[in-house]
A and B are shown apart, each in its own frame.
Chain A
Amino acid sequence: MKSRSKIFLGDSLIIFISLIFIIFAFKTFWHFETGSVVQVNFQGKTYGNFSLFQNKEMSLIGKEGESVIEIKEGRVRFAKSPCKNQYCLQQGWIHFIGQMLICIPNEVSIEVLGKTKAYDSLNY
C-alpha cells in the first residue's frame, strides 16, 4: 500500500501539468472576440465596411435578385435572400470576429471583422 501511494505521486504531477496545459489551450485557442465591423463582399469585390453599432438595412441587387443584410445591436444577418436553399438566412445572426455568412448564388458574403483577424478556413 505504501509503494502504491508513492507510484501515483509522479502520475499526479503529470496529470496536473496536463490539466494546466489543457486549460491554457482552451484559453488560448478558444478565445472568441466580438467584432465591431462587418465587411460586405458583393460580386467578387468589397462592397464596403459598416460599423456593427448601428441599425441599418442594406439591399443588394445581384443576379438572382434582392439580398437584404440587416445590422442591429452589434450583430448582422441576412434578412432576405433570393436563393433557393436559404442557407445564409438559416445561419441567423453573427457577431464574433471571423464569422462569415455566404450566399453563393447571389454572390454576396459578409464577414465580421475586429482589430485582429481571426483564423478562417476560407482564405486557405
Chain B
Amino acid sequence: MTRSIIKIKTTLLDHQIAQLSAIAIGLSLIKSVLPSPMPGVKPGIANIITLYAVYRFNFRTAIWVSILRVFATSLILGQFLSPTFMLSLTGSLLSLLTLYFSIKLPSRFFSPMSLSVLSSFAHITGQLLLVRLWLIPHASIYYLIPIYSAAALIFGLINGWITYRLLKHHNSI
C-alpha cells in the first residue's frame, strides 16, 4: 500500500480567509443559541467579520468569508438547504451586493457603521422578499416590516461600532 499525499497549494490569503471564516462561523453559532423575541430578530454578529474583511482585505475576501460562513454554519446546525439556510443565503447575498456599492462611498464621511446599517437593511430586505415570495405568500407579513427595520438599525449600529473599534485597533482605518 502506498501512501498518497494530496497537497493543496494554499496562499496566505487562503489562510486569512479560513481564519476569518472560522471566527464568523463561531459567531454565527453563538448567534443561533441566543434567545430571540421573534423569528428573524437577532443581532447578525457574523457580519462584523464580513465588514472587517472588506476593510482589511478586499471585497473578494468578504464574499468568501460570508458564503463559507453561511454554508458551514448550516451544515453544522443541520439546516443545509432548509428554509433557514435559504433565508440566510438570500440575506447574505443581498448584504454583499449592498456592500459592493456602499464601500465606494467616500470613507472620509462614512464609517463602517454606515455600511453595517445598510447591509443589515439589505439582509432583512432579502429575507422578507423571500418570505413574501416563497414561504408566506401573503401581504400580512408587511406588518413585520417596522419591527424588522427597527431591529436592523439598532443591530446594524452596534455591529458597525464594533467593526469600527476593531479596525481602529488594527490601524486599518
The interface of chain A, by Cβ under 8 A from chain B, is: 3, 6-11, 14-15, 18-19, 21-22, 25-26, 29-30, 119-121, 123-124
A29 touches B146 (CB 8 A): yes
Q: Chain B's nearest CB lies how many Å from the CB of A97? A: 13
A10 touches B109 (CB 8 A): yes
B146: chain A residues at CB < 8 Å are 22, 25-26, 29-30
State in angstroms the CA–CA spacing of A29 and B114 once bound together.
26
Q: Chain B's nearest CB lies how many Å from the CB of A103? A: 22
B153 touches A22 (CB 8 A): yes
The interface of chain B, by Cβ under 8 A from chain A, is: 105-111, 113-114, 117-118, 121, 136-140, 142-143, 145-146, 149-150, 152-153, 157, 160
B106: chain A residues at CB < 8 Å are 10
State in angstroms the CA–CA spacing of A17 and B86 once bound together.
29
A121 touches B117 (CB 8 A): no
State in angstroms the CA–CA spacing of A6 and B110 once bound together.
8
23 chain-A/chain-B pairs, Cβ below 8 angstroms? A3-B108, A6-B109, A7-B108, A8-B111, A8-B113, A9-B109, A10-B106, A10-B114, A11-B114, A11-B117, A14-B110, A14-B114, A14-B117, A14-B118, A18-B121, A18-B149, A19-B153, A22-B146, A25-B146, A25-B149, A26-B146, A30-B143, A124-B140
Knowing A119-B138, A119-B142 are in contact, say whether A7-B149 is a contact too (CB < 8 A). no
B110 touches A29 (CB 8 A): no
A121 touches B109 (CB 8 A): no
State in angstroms the CA–CA spacing of A8 and B157 once bound together.
12
A19: chain B residues at CB < 8 Å are 153
Knowing A22-B146, A25-B149 are in contact, say whether A124-B138 is a contact too (CB < 8 A). yes
A6 touches B114 (CB 8 A): no
B138 touches A121 (CB 8 A): yes
7 tightest Cβ-Cβ pairs between the two chains A and B: A10-B109, A10-B110, A124-B138, A25-B146, A119-B140, A26-B146, A7-B111
Closest chain B residue to A4 by CB distance? Answer: B111
Q: Chain A's nearest CB lies how many Å from the CB of B53? A: 20
**Residue with the greatest number of chain B CB neighbours at <10 A, chosen from A9, A14, A119:** A14
B114: chain A residues at CB < 8 Å are 10-11, 14
